[in-house]
Amino acid sequence: MQQIAIFASGAGSNAARIIDHFRQHPTIKISLIVCNKPGAGVLNIAAQEHIPTLLIEKERFFRGDAYLPQLQELNISFVVLAGFLWKIPSALVQAYTRRIVNIHPALLPKYGGKGMYGHHVHEAVIAAKEKQSGITIHYVDELYDHGQTIFQAVCIIEEDDTPETLAQKVHWLEHEHFPRIIEEVLSKKR
Ligand code: GAR
């Protein structure tokens, strides 16, 4: 069994789709939800699904052991970032080389980097009058939004789109593709 940890600190709509996708999977199990925000929606989803959660603290994540012992104790072999906004410390990147994937709500390398998350991304894309946006699923390295791209999907921006309507289009793409791409990546690692 491949044990997966989802790192998420937002509403958790992507986490919910991923959990749903792998619910009956014979070899892939969502074993842990890692979150840095008490009260985040994703924690309710984890509780409903009876998936253990780990609430992490900044100091220990960045200057301590990066919670590696906890991940290893649960035999976590792969990490999915689904709305997780902290940079991943190098201890974790090195322990999970090409075993951490992130989803970003834009077409990287545009609109990535520190501070570019959630609505900030969609506001910047609309302000720049882009004709399209989309999603990027990529491996995680030690820089923000930088590792090798695995998959991108595009949506068209209409003249009357707002950051809110663009966010909906991007979320739709995320929900449609992220679980399937995770499964593809994992199937190559067995
Ligand atoms: C998603 O749109 C994801 O792409 C974004 O956070 C949202 C989380 O939504 N991630 C980033 O911006 C990372 N830089 P969710 O909690 O509903 O899944």
CA neighbor of 177 nearest in space, from 185, 166, 189: 185
| pLDDT (mean) for 132-160 | 96
104, 112 Cβ separation under 8 angstroms: yes
Catalytic residue among 25, 104, 146, 175: 104
Kind plus residue range of the DSSP H or E element containing 94? helix 90-95
CA of residue 118 to ligand 1 center, whole Å:
6
* One-letter identity of residue 109: P
Residues 6+ apart with CB under 8 A from 132: 107, 154, 155, 156, 157
Over residues 75-84, the pLDDT tens digits come to: 999 999 999 9
Residues 6+ apart with CB under 8 A from 13: 171, 174, 175
Over residues 13-32, the pLDDT tens digits come to: 999 999 999 999 999 999 99
Report percent pLDDT > 90 for the chain: 96
Write down all domains in the chain, each with its CATH number in brackets: 2-189 (3.40.50.170)
Query: Can you give the pLDDT at residue 189?
Result: 78
Over residues 89-121, the pLDDT tens digits come to: 999 999 999 999 999 999 999 999 989 999 999
Out of 87, 103, 137, mutate this one to test ligand 1's pocket (max ligand atoms within 8 Å of CB): namely: 103
